Amino acid sequence: MDTTTYRAYTNIALIKYWGKRNKELFLPVTSSLSLTLNEFYTETTLEWNTQSNEDTFTLDGQILDINAIEKVSRFINMFRDLSGIHRPVHVKSTNHVPTAAGLASSASAFAALASACNDLFGTNLSNKELSTYARRGSGSATRSLFGGFTVWHKGIGDESDSSYAEMIDEADWDIGMLVVMINKEQKKISSRVGMEHTIKTSPFYKLWPETVAEDLEAIIPAIENRDFPTIGQIAEHNAMKMHATIIAADPSMTYWEPESLTAMNIVRDLREAGIPCYFTMDAGPNVKVLCRLSQAEEIKKAFEKHFSSDRLVISGPGKGPHKIS
Ligand code: ADP
Ligand code: DP6
Ligand code: CO
């Protein structure tokens, strides 16, 4: 085989990953839990490089700078070492998600790349094993090796193999998200830098690991019971607690923009009007509204009073990565 293409979907954390205990291995401080989304994904083609002795990489048709190529090359080295095939490759990737805007492009990107590497280098890893490799490209990518509701276990000590993802529910029921595009531009502070700054300087961060453990313990049975309001309340509170630790960093920072607050208020108004929906936000200004998929159109209508419809995307749950023929 000379070429392979994989598609992997983004995932949005309901219980957030924010902080590494081991930066080299991307081992997280806490476990986390997400919902994979069907509408946002990365497609990555990997082929042996016959034109150059080095790896080459294009993203959305652009030839990337040496820094970006180095990140991808280092990632692919894991598969070269594993397979013993030390050949250069060409990577061609397309994001069907805004890049570096807090919509988890790094998650779909490294899940797609890991899946394509596994195929081209013939390493035959299971998705569980592959999730431990995707993790070393971007932490959130660990969870994109599976669909539905997926847990990323923080693992034990410095054991890379122990920090993997596992799907706990296919999410094949009435649940989805409305994504409110506040700003698709690249953020100024990457997730990586933002979480490091928070760990180092936020006095609230010491409260974070314990509160995440409690939220996880409560949300897992709520997912099993398909108890949507409980899932939503826990997720919204967890996101706000993460953003509180970020705001309390020194110097203080935030990923929010004024329109992020507008979106949060619309969610609160909808709830008061008896429509259950809950917001979550990541390292970027965009707001994701967790809702019943059957009520997503109605919720979108309410948002259309403030946001043009091209900024509002409804998504159902997504699946794990798959090969594109
Ligand atoms: P996001 O919120 O989009 O996940 P991050 O700051 O976590 O933002 O990650 C963005 C980075 O992920 C980009 O700067 C780039 O290095 C990497 N990335 C995004 N898409 C791809 C891709 N398709 N292939 C390889 N790397 C990618
Ligand atoms: C707020 O996985 O993008 O979206 O591991 O440094 O690549 P790196 O960071 P990344 O961080 C995601 C942070 C988050 C929460 C989450 O997805 O769990
Ligand atoms: Co990311």
List the residue whose alpha carbon is closest to atom 3 of ligand 2: 191
Strands 32-48 and 3-15: antiparallel
What is the predicted pLDDT for the residue at 65?
78
What is the predicted pLDDT for the residue at 299?
98
Q: What does the pLDDT average to over 49-73?
A: 91
pLDDT for 136-154, tens place per residue?
999 999 999 999 999 999 9
The 8-class DSSP code of residue 315 comes to E
Ligand 1 atom having least distance to the Cα of 103: 2
How deeply is 61 buried, as exposed, middle or buried, from its count of CB atoms within 10 A (0-12, 13-18, 19+)? Answer: exposed
Query: Among 63-72, 91-100, 316-325, whose mean pLDDT is lowest?
Result: 63-72
Ligand (nearest to CA of 288):
2
Quick one: pLDDT band at residue 67, thresholds 50, 70, 90? confident
DSSP state string for 203-215: TTGGGHHHHHHHH
- pLDDT at residue 222 is higher than 90: yes
Q: What does the pLDDT average to over 105-122?
A: 98
Ligand 1 pocket check for 163: Cβ under 6 Å: no
Ligand 1 pocket check for 284: Cβ under 6 Å: yes
Q: Tell me which residue has tokens 């390493």.
A: 123
- pLDDT at residue 241 is higher than 90: yes
Quick one: pLDDT band at residue 68, thresholds 50, 70, 90? confident
Token pair, residue 84, equals 């013993």
In CATH, the architecture of 3-172 is 2-Layer Sandwich (3.30)
Ligand 1 pocket check for 151: Cβ under 6 Å: no
Ligand 2 pocket check for 110: Cβ under 6 Å: no
Ligand 2 pocket check for 192: Cβ under 6 Å: yes
What's the CATH fold of domain 176-315?
Answer: Alpha-Beta Plaits (3.30.70)
What is the predicted pLDDT for the residue at 43?
98
Quick one: pLDDT band at residue 25, thresholds 50, 70, 90? very high
> What is the distance in A from the centroid of ligand 2 to the CA of 273?
33
> What is the distance in A from the centroid of ligand 1 to the CA of 109?
7
Q: Is 234 helix (H, G, I), strand (E, B) or coil?
A: helix
Cα-Cα-Cα-Cα torsion 305, 310, 312, 313, nearest 10 degrees, comes to 150
User: Using CA atoms, how far apart are residues 246 and 51, in angstroms rounded to an integer?
Assistant: 45
Average pLDDT of the chain?
Answer: 97
pLDDT for 154-208, tens place per residue?
999 999 999 999 999 999 999 999 999 999 999 999 999 999 999 999 999 999 9
Q: Report the complex ipTM.
A: 0.99
Pocket test for ligand 2, best of 17, 23, 31 (most atoms within 8 A of CB): 17
Ligand (nearest to CA of 8):
1
Q: What percent of the chain has pLDDT over 90?
A: 97
What is the predicted pLDDT for the residue at 66?
83
Quick one: pLDDT band at residue 273, thresholds 50, 70, 90? very high
pLDDT for 275-302, tens place per residue?
999 999 999 999 999 999 999 999 999 9
Q: Which of 165, 200, 151 is nearest to 20 (CA)?
A: 200
Evaluate whether 3-172 and 176-315 have a shared fold. Answer: no
- Give the orientation angle of helix 258-272 with respect to helix 296-303, to 10 degrees: 130
- pLDDT at residue 257 is higher than 90: yes
Alpha helices in the chain (DSSP H): 66-83, 105-120, 127-134, 191-201, 208-224, 228-247, 258-272, 296-303
The domains of the chain are located at 3-172, 176-315
Q: Which of 229, 313, 238, 250 is nearest to 282 (CA)?
A: 238
What is the predicted pLDDT for the residue at 6?
98
Quick one: pLDDT band at residue 262, thresholds 50, 70, 90? very high
